[in-house]
Amino acid sequence: MQDPVAPDALAAVEEQLGQPLPEALHQLLLETDGIETDCGTEVAWTANKILEENRSVRSNEQFRSLYMPFDALMFFGDNGGGDQFAFVRTPDRDDVFVWDHETDSRIWVASSLEQYLRSALGSDGDDWYR
């Protein structure tokens, strides 16, 4: 388990992304700064990676021509194979969606962060949500 992230670091992430972290994710990061499986899959990224990855997908010019906009999403984890998990922030939702990087589809996978983590950590593969 990682050390918790400092509250001021979370505030900086929210400020730089221009949207609040979902409360459940905020609380998780105050307990542990990211969760990685035994295989190395980052099911919940560190606060710093959440900031970096979200800024990257939102500002990537090539992504803008290939994919639907990412501004309404807040990515926070991945499956190790390219697909990423996100909360919808506009409108504000607690549900977790997966973004399929090959099809640009955004599919509902869990009604909460807790349900997502239970499913992701209880699975034996990177496509548990299909």
Structure confidence at residue 126 (pLDDT):
63
Query: Residues 84, 99: contact at Cβ < 8 Å?
Result: yes
More confident residue, 33 or 122: 33
Neighbours of 9 (CB within 10 A): 16
Query: pLDDT of 41-64, one tens digit each?
Result: 999 999 999 999 999 999 999 999
Q: Is the peptide bond before 7 cis (omega within 30 degrees of 0)?
A: no
Domains of the chain and CATH, by start: 7-121 (3.40.1580.10)
Query: pLDDT of 74-118, one tens digit each?
Result: 999 999 999 999 999 989 999 999 999 999 999 999 999 999 999
pTM, two decimals, is: 0.92
Structure confidence at residue 72 (pLDDT):
93
Q: What is the DSSP letter of 3?
A: P
- Look up tokens 């349900």; give the residue: 115
Structure confidence at residue 130 (pLDDT):
73
The span from the CA of 67 to the CA of 108, in Å, is 18
DSSP-derived pairing of the beta strands 84-89 and 92-99: antiparallel
Residues facing residue 35 across a β-bridge: 44
* Torsions phi, psi for 52 (to 5 deg): -60, -45
Structure confidence at residue 123 (pLDDT):
81
More confident residue, 128 or 52: 52
